[in-house]
Each structure stands twice: as C-alpha cells, then as structure tokens.
Chain A
Amino acid sequence: MDKLIAKNITVSYEGANIIEDISIELNKGEIVCLLGVSGVGKTTLFNVISGLLNPDEGIVELDGRNITGKAGNVSYMLQKDMLMPYKTIIDNVSLPLVIRGEKKSKARDITAKYFQEFGLEGTEKKYPFQLSGGMRQRAALLRTYLFSDQVALLDEPFSALDSITKSVMHEWYLQVMKQIRLSTLLITHDIDEAIILSDRIYVMAGKPGRIKEEVIIDEPKPRDKDFKVSESFIKYKRHILSILM
C-alpha cells in the first residue's frame, strides 16, 4: 500500500453529527495517531475506515481505490484482544488466512514463522487464557498483521494494560514495526503513548468531533526511555494539551 486517505468524512446519528468533515491520510510505513478524549468519535471514524460503517458523506481510498463501506481491506485490532478462547494461539493468529481460504495446516506453517519476530515463541499450542495480557495483545497484533500486511487500525490496543506492561509493549511495538513496516493508524486517548509511537498525530476535539491540528513528531525511532523525560517530549506534550484544553 502507498496511501490510505479518508476525505471529508461526516457521520451522523439520529440527526446529530458525531464527526464532521474529517480528512486524514496515512503514508506507507507510517505510524499515525488519532488522539482525542473519549466520546469524540475516534471509534466512529475507525469503523468508517475499516468499512464496518458507511459515512453520510466522504470517501475512503486505499491506493486510489474507493473502499468506502467495504470491509476486508484494512485490518484492525481493539482494546480487547478478541482471541477465541477455544482456539490455540496459532489457530487464533492464523484465522485470517483460514478465512481467506487457506488450508488449516498451510495457514499454521505460514503463521509459525512470525512467532519469533513477535516475541511469541513457545505459545503456539497454548490457549489464550494461559497468556498474560501483554502476550495476548502481541498475538492479536500478529493476527492483525496476517489479516492485512498493508495497513492496520489499532483502537486503543494497549489501554487495558498496566502502565509498566504498556511501556514494555511500546518498545516491543516500535521494534516490531522497524522490521515489518506496517502502516498503522493508532487510536488513543493517551498523550504520552501518541508522542512515543507516532510520526504524526491528528488531534481530535469538539462536538461533533473534528481534527483540530496535525502535530508532526520529528524524532528518531526507536525512541528510548530517555525520550519520555526529555525536553522535546515535554514540549510536544504541552503543545497537545494546549490544543485539547
């Protein structure tokens, strides 16, 4: 994929607009954050881009192709991992391939190669309940990646984790992203998370929700622990807070 574009998206519910005239774009290999308070319509936009919801106005394009209202083009991952409790990790992760018509054994073979890279080795035959929250999110991300290696939408993927596990997952995530170069649109309400992970941040606010500003985080990656307490980090954070409040 080269480019995912959402143009002038408006969605209303019972006569009132939830999000209004939202335009965003995501370039190849980028991690872009959609940042805003709860209820601003982040997930609504997310549903539009994933094709689960038809917008009242606007279109979604992937590589110049109109994919508005069409599911199956971009993969997504939610805060809850949605791993099926009755499937082993490898079967959970290879599910997108099976859905696409791949034989179960073949799908397992393809999937098994990624376990090392995603830090999941040894969990293949386990059931989800035997894994920690962080490991489950890793498995969910691998499933997302196998669903589409072009572009992934992540809706608050780490927000259910405790803050230490979260930091570990951030580092892990940037590490994995360096290798697989998955274009990612990440939804979050966590300002720190947005600054640490993204290349660009769209700050959403208001009612109906609009894009208030696009903030570019011009820092080398992967960003280490020191970045979190650095001068420039604070500067970004102060700036974003001033937009939101």
Chain B
Amino acid sequence: MKKKFLSIINKISSFIVIFAILILWQILSATGIVPKFMLPSPVDVVMAFIGDFPLLMQHAATTLTEAFLGLMIGTLLGFAIAVIMDYYPIAYKSVYPLMVLTQTVPTVAIAPLLVLWMGYGLLPKVTLIVLTTFFPIAIGLLDGFHTVDPDSINLLKAMGANRLQVFTHIKLPSSLSHFFAGLKISVSYSVVAAVISEWLGGFYGLGVYMTRVRKSYSFDKMFAVIFFISLISLLLMLGVTLLKDAVMPWDRSKKTERKNQI
C-alpha cells in the first residue's frame, strides 16, 4: 500500500512542482507583491487565452502551416544530406564542417536578412525553419549510419548484398532511433523558428500576434501566447514519440518487456 502510494507520488511529482509554482505565482500576483501590470496572475493569463481563443487559433494555423512545411522540407533535406555524406566520404569531409558552421549563426541574426531578400510572405519563414531543422536530422542520421556494427555489414556483404541492400536492411533501420531523436529536436525548433521569423514581418502568425500584444503592453495576452506556443511544441514532440512507437514496434516492446521484468 505504502509502496503503491510512493510510486504514484513518484509519477506525479513533476506536476506537483508545477502546480506549487502556479499557486505561489497566483498569491504573489493577487496580494500585489508583484504589480499586476508587470506580471499578470495565472488566472489572468487563462482568461486572456479564453478571450482571444478564436484569434489565437487563426494565427496558430498560419504558424503551424509554416512550421509543417519547413519541417517537411528540412527533414527531407537533412535525410538527403546524411545519405549523400554517407555514400560519398568526400562529401562528408568537405561539407560537414560547413554544415556545422551554418549552425553557429544565430537564427535571429539571419532572419532579417531573409526578410530583406524574400519579402514578407511565406518563403523567408519556411527557409528559416528549413535551415534550423535539417541539422538535427542530418547529424542524427549520420551518427546512426556510423555506429552500425561492421560485422553485420560484413555478413550482408558475404550474402552478396549490394550497397543499396546494406542501406535498406541495416543502415537505415538501425539509425531510426537516432533519426527520431533528431526529429524531436527539429519539431520544437520548427515552431520556435516560425515564431521568430514572424516577429520580423508578416500579417498572420503567433509571432505577429506576439509583436502586437507586446506593443500594446497586454502582458496577460503575452503570457497566454507564450504558454500556447510551448503547449504546441509539447504536443508535437508527443506526436513524434507516438510516431516512433508506431514505426519501431521492436523498441516499444523492448521497453514493456523491461518494465515487466522490474
């Protein structure tokens, strides 16, 4: 009985912490220790969210479209780059350092340039998202390709397999978990990159909404949209986990097996 109780506590401990912070925040705000115009209370934030719900949804649709397009293209690009680099070692040697270099340039710094070059439409936003999302995918896959057991590859070669067969039967499937780890990062990047690109110009999107409420000092709405964005990221990451479980049944069953043993 006591053990069961402890395991429940263990499971919901993180929720308890979050809940405690929210209560503390509400008290600080409601008693006026922190002035309301600087920090709205959680209740205010929820009210703002409900009040602006239709508008938020409309903007979210734009942001999600951008994120989705950018993520799709970024994933395909990352995949292609990883495969090419794996197939041609010379490509790996020559392009890999450049690829790492592109990632040291802060997103916020290239976003205005992209707007100048490509205007206020969808294009600069999607481009920025592609630039930020392809990297984790490419790195993840490359890592996966390189850590494949050489004995397995030898075995397949001894069976007379060609490079394509080695790729489809060994390299790709054994890199899937690396791929999904990369995708999880890319998914959250895609939303963040979409919002950042919208700050700099555009007519719709959560980033645009954010800029507007900031200019009108509506802190409650500001917080509402921030939480909304992280909620979207969380849900998308959960989606990736579900996708992974569906695509890699052996991995999931391994986990349940382990749980049963414990």
CA distance A84 to B250 in the complex (A): 10
B174 within 8 Å of A (CB atoms): yes
Instruction: Return the contact of A82 from the options B151, B173, B250, B254 (Cβ within 8 A).
Output: B151
Do A82 and B158 touch (CB < 8 A)? Answer: no
CA distance A50 to B170 in the complex (A): 20
Q: Find residues 65-100 in chain A having any chain B CB closer than 8 Å to their own CB.
A: 71-72, 75-76, 78, 80, 82, 84-87, 95-96, 98-100
A129 within 8 Å of B (CB atoms): yes
Shortest B94–chain A CB gap in Å is 30
A130 within 8 Å of B (CB atoms): yes
Known: A78-B151, A86-B176. A95 touches B169 (CB 8 A): yes
A36 within 8 Å of B (CB atoms): no
Chain B residue nearest to A146 (CB atoms) is B159
Q: Find residues 50-76 in chain A having any chain B CB closer than 8 Å to their own CB.
A: 50-52, 71-72, 75-76
B248 within 8 Å of A (CB atoms): yes
B155 within 8 Å of A (CB atoms): yes
B152 within 8 Å of A (CB atoms): yes
CA distance A96 to B157 in the complex (A): 10
CA distance A100 to B257 in the complex (A): 34
Shortest A220–chain B CB gap in Å is 34
Instruction: Return the contact of A127 from the options B149, B156, B176, B250 (Cβ within 8 A).
Output: B250
List of A residues within 8 angstroms of B251 by Cβ: 86
Shortest B135–chain A CB gap in Å is 25
CA distance A176 to B206 in the complex (A): 67
Known: A86-B250, A95-B169, A129-B257. A72 touches B155 (CB 8 A): no
CA distance A95 to B169 in the complex (A): 9
List of B residues within 8 angstroms of A80 by Cβ: 151
Shortest A140–chain B CB gap in Å is 10
Instruction: Return the contact of A99 from the options B159, B173, B257 (Cβ within 8 A).
Output: B159
Known: A82-B151, A86-B176. A72 touches B253 (CB 8 A): no
Secondary structure call for the B interface: helix
CA distance A76 to B160 in the complex (A): 12
Instruction: Return the contact of A76 from the options B158, B165, B169, B257 (Cβ within 8 A).
Output: B158
B7 within 8 Å of A (CB atoms): no
Known: A71-B157, A95-B159, A96-B159. A84 touches B152 (CB 8 A): yes
Do B154 and A99 touch (CB < 8 A)? Answer: no
Shortest A90–chain B CB gap in Å is 14
Do A52 and B157 touch (CB < 8 A)? Answer: yes
Q: Find residues 106-164 in chain B having any chain A CB closer than 8 Å to their own CB.
A: 149, 151-152, 154-161
List of A residues within 8 angstroms of B158 by Cβ: 50-52, 71-72, 75-76, 147
Do B165 and A82 touch (CB < 8 A)? Answer: no
Do B174 and A84 touch (CB < 8 A)? Answer: yes
Chain B residue nearest to A128 (CB atoms) is B250
List of A residues within 8 angstroms of B151 by Cβ: 78, 80, 82
List of A residues within 8 angstroms of B149 by Cβ: 82
Do B152 and A71 touch (CB < 8 A)? Answer: no
Do A99 and B156 touch (CB < 8 A)? Answer: yes
CA distance A80 to B170 in the complex (A): 16
Of B154, B155, B160, B248, chain A has the most CB atoms within 10 Å of the CB of B155
Chain A residue nearest to B157 (CB atoms) is A71
List of B residues within 8 angstroms of A71 by Cβ: 157-158, 160
Instruction: Return the contact of B250 from the options A76, A85, A99, A147 (Cβ within 8 A).
Output: A85
CA distance A72 to B174 in the complex (A): 23
List of A residues within 8 angstroms of B165 by Cβ: 99
Chain B residue nearest to A86 (CB atoms) is B173
CA distance A78 to B160 in the complex (A): 17
CA distance A65 to B157 in the complex (A): 20
List of A residues within 8 angstroms of B173 by Cβ: 84, 86-87
Q: Find residues 96-113 in chain A having any chain B CB closer than 8 Å to their own CB.
A: 96, 98-100
List of A residues within 8 angstroms of B250 by Cβ: 85-86, 127, 129
CA distance A96 to B161 in the complex (A): 9
CA distance A86 to B151 in the complex (A): 16
Shortest B168–chain A CB gap in Å is 10
List of B residues within 8 angstroms of A147 by Cβ: 158-159
A-B residue pairs in contact (CB < 8 Å), sample of 14: A75-B159, A76-B155, A76-B158, A80-B151, A82-B149, A82-B151, A84-B152, A85-B174, A85-B250, A99-B156, A99-B159, A99-B160, A127-B253, A147-B159
Beyond contacts A71-B158, A99-B161, A130-B257: 11 other A-B pairs, Cβ-Cβ < 8 A, are A50-B158, A51-B158, A75-B159, A82-B155, A84-B169, A85-B250, A85-B254, A86-B174, A99-B156, A129-B254, A130-B253
